[in-house]
Structure 1
Amino acid sequence: MSDALRPPPTTVVVFAKAPLPGFAKTRLIPALGAEGAAALAARLLRFAVTEALAAQLGAVEVWAAPDGQHPAFAELAQRGGITLRAQGEGDLGERMARAFAFHADRSTAAQAPPVLLIGTDAPGLDRHYLRQAAAALAGHDAVFGPALDGGYTLVGLRRPAPQLFDAMTWSTSAVMAETRLRLQRLGLRHAELPPLTDIDEPADLERLPPGWLTGLPPD
């Protein structure tokens, strides 16, 4: 990527569950079985980290749940280019707010770079999408990648805004709508990218790119 097209330096945080059977992608178990759902979760994790590195925006961190002990996380760390951290306790909003606050607290004389936080559920969230998000943050306080189910797949902030995550009812179709209201109340200017599909429910599997289900353990 040429310097003229490179977005400002941006940290990319990948939130990921350990791809354990019965722990990751549990809503896909009726379609794929526990082993198959976990195997797909591992593929989604590898894809998200590969694209985060390929975006060449800055530091890439994988924040793992419940911790970073699973072999999938060790494999990623051995590849190099990422820092592995634990998400810690609390609901999703508390953990997300903690990640943004962590980077703000680490800044010293130099201003901390903006942070993009993504999950591992959206195979459409590739390096190009990440670069668009980073570029949008150059002129906005926040950027979001809405999901077609009413949530969002990406959130980027120039500085922490824990009010966006506090006491949110997650995994509902109202998450993005409620977030827009909170952004307005906080006086934050935000940008939205084109919506993407989250792979959460069996019906979502039809939206996976070709080949993603090949070779998964049988149900």
Structure 2
Amino acid sequence: MTTLLVIAKEPVPGRVKTRLTPPFTPAEAARLAEAALADTLDTLTRVPARRRVLVLSGRPGPWLPPGYEVVPQVAGGLDERIAAAFAPCAGPALLVGMDTPQLTPELLAPVTGPGGWPPGRAWFGPAADGGFWALGLAEPRPELIRGVPMSTSRTGAVQRLRLRQAGLDIAELPELVDMDTAADAALIAREATGGRFAAVYGALREGATR
């Protein structure tokens, strides 16, 4: 079975989702980040897994459901932090971020279901901004991640090339939108109806129009 990794920041105002401000206040941006993280963690409790691990910068809060191990992120750039998250895993592991609350168990079924991990398999979930929202490795290979330029329009292309050059069999997951801007948040809220994120987004927008 698969080890599921979520890499995230504690949703503290002024430290998360700063590109949502404006139009949202830092406190509102943190509420959206918390809702996105809570939805993501909840989704991963509804798929088969060997372990569920939250790789966290900060402290856990009431948004953390039961069943997760919490480990601190290492120091360094995002490439180093992602690489370190994979390093202790034994066997297949899939890492996702906290920015895609539209994630569903059905979307993850090819990874977490039977036959998802033939030898040499890598899973790649591209993000619409050129990055990636998911990365899976059949065996931990931190060296494939270290040095990849993160948070750029070519992050996904460079990471995919690394996987290909390593001779891995890359299986693609659907492209998703990361929640970075207010426009992204609006789009995700329309897609992820019924979740905590959509409810928080709707309440904030309703309050802004009064």
TM-score bracket relative to the smaller structure:
0.7 to 0.9
Aligned-residue offset at 1:202: 2.2
TM-score scaled by structure 1? Answer: 0.83
Answering whether residue 121 of structure 2 is matched by residue 121 of structure 1, we say no
Aligned-residue offset at 1:134: 3.0
Partner of 1:44: 36
Partner of 1:84: 70
CA distance in structure 1 between the aligned counterparts of 2:73 and 2:108, rounded to whole angstroms:
21
Partner of 1:3: none
SS of 2:178's equivalent in the other structure is: coil
Aligned-residue offset at 1:196: 0.7
Partner of 2:85: 99
C-alpha distance after superposition, 1:3-42 (max 9, x if no partner): xxxxxx1111111101001101111111211011000000
Question: 1:70-81 maps to which residues of 2 (within 5 A)?
Answer: 73-77=60-64, 79-81=65-67
Partner of 1:109: none
Matched-pair contact (CA < 8 Å) for 1:51–1:126: yes
Q: Which amino acid aligns with 1:185?
A: Q
C-alpha distance after superposition, 1:142-199 (max 9, x if no partner): 1011111111100011112223322222111111111222122211111111111111
CA spacing shift, 1:176–1:43, aligned 2, 3 Å: same
Partner of 2:158: 178
Q: Which amino acid aligns with 1:143?
A: W
Answering whether residue 44 of structure 2 is matched by residue 59 of structure 1, we say no
Aligned-residue offset at 1:58: 2.7
Q: Which amino acid aligns with 1:19?
A: P
Matched-pair contact (CA < 8 Å) for 2:133–2:176: yes
CA distance in structure 2 between the aligned counterparts of 1:154 and 1:197, rounded to whole angstroms:
12
TM-score scaled by structure 2? Answer: 0.86
Identity %: 36
Matched-pair contact (CA < 8 Å) for 2:38–2:63: yes
Q: Aligned Cα RMSD in Å?
A: 1.9
Matched-pair contact (CA < 8 Å) for 1:48–1:125: yes
Partner of 1:208: 188
SS of 1:176's equivalent in the other structure is: helix
Q: Which amino acid aligns with 2:126?
A: P
CA distance in structure 1 between the aligned counterparts of 2:6 and 2:22, rounded to whole angstroms:
26
Question: Structure 2 stretches of 5 or more lacking a match?
Answer: 191-197
SS of 2:139's equivalent in the other structure is: coil
Matched-pair contact (CA < 8 Å) for 1:57–1:131: no
Aligned-residue offset at 1:97: 0.8
Q: Which amino acid aligns with 1:25?
A: K
Answering whether residue 177 of structure 2 is matched by residue 190 of structure 1, we say no
Answering whether residue 4 of structure 2 is matched by residue 12 of structure 1, we say yes
Matched-pair contact (CA < 8 Å) for 2:95–2:134: yes
Partner of 2:109: 131
CA distance in structure 1 between the aligned counterparts of 2:34 and 2:63, rounded to whole angstroms:
11
Partner of 1:168: 148
Answering whether residue 19 of structure 2 is matched by residue 27 of structure 1, we say yes
CA spacing shift, 1:21–1:76, aligned 2, 3 Å: closer
Partner of 1:5: none
Matched-pair contact (CA < 8 Å) for 2:99–2:178: yes
